[in-house]
Chains A and B, each alone.
Chain A
Amino acid sequence: NAGVTQTPKFRVLKTGQSMTLLCAQDMNHEYMYWYRQDPGMGLRLIHYSVGEGTTAKGEVPDGYNVSRLKKQNFLLGLESAAPSQTSVYFCASRSFREGTEAFFGQGTRLTVV
């Protein structure tokens, strides 16, 4: 069982560069999420999706875009990276059933210089 797989695991970007983080899940989950984790801040929701073709903003969406063209994939894009986007990014997926657990990927450590 692969669960939730994120690529890449590490990346260094220069300010102004763009990149896409890929998340793939093999559990047929309806819901998918992108979080960022910063020291002392816990996890903050960037964007999420409740199904194929749908996306919605979380609490810190600025500077990011997402797409969910296929149910199993959820892409996070940075169009013009900024040092403030240096963080560890986690993808998660979850069933639509209330009370079920979310499954997390291993994270992508992104540094913007």
Chain B
Amino acid sequence: GNSVTQMEGPVTLSEEAFLTINCTYTATGYPSLFWYVQYPGEGLQLLLKATKADDKGSNKGFEATYRKETTSFHLEKGSVQVSDSAVYFCALSYGNNRLAFGKGNQVVVIP
């Protein structure tokens, strides 16, 4: 089937630290991959995406590269800010443009 696995547990780090959130997927074919972010009390919004292997998505200092060989799409940011505190979801697109989501990671950035 089509599924997404994110690393377990919240992530707490200091301002200006390096952030990595792991995401691996299982899918038939070559799906488009996405990272969505959810700020407190809000809906999800697209952070970045990649539609084919080796593509790199980037936005607001965040990056993720579509790795077909490792079926991964890890999210990285070199220097986080307090305003990056949110929940981050990895997702893939499959039949009828449906999205399968990972369980999400709460990121807390401490000043």
A residues sitting closer than 8 Å to B (CB atoms) are 4, 31, 33, 40-45, 48, 50, 56, 58, 90, 92, 94-96, 98-102, 104-107
Contact = CB atoms under 8 A, between A and B. Distances in A.
A48 B101 CA distance: 15
B104 A94 contact: no
B32 A98 contact: yes
A8 B51 CA distance: 34
B103 interface: yes
Contacts of A50: 96-97
B35 to A, nearest CB: 11
A34 to B, nearest CB: 12
Name the prevailing secondary structure of the B interface residues: strand
Contacts of A43: 44, 89, 99, 101
A7 B53 CA distance: 39
9 contacts: A42-B103, A45-B100, A48-B98, A50-B96, A56-B96, A94-B97, A98-B97, A102-B44, A102-B99
Give the one of B34, B45, B96, B97 with max A CB within 10 A: B97
Interface in B18-62: 32, 34, 36, 41-46, 49, 51
A107 B43 contact: yes
A109 B3 CA distance: 26
B71 interface: no
A90 B98 CA distance: 14
Given A42-B89, A99-B32, A104-B45, A58 B101 contact: no
A90 B101 contact: no
A31 B94 CA distance: 13
Interface in B65-111: 89, 93, 96-104
Given A43-B89, A45-B98, A105 B43 contact: yes
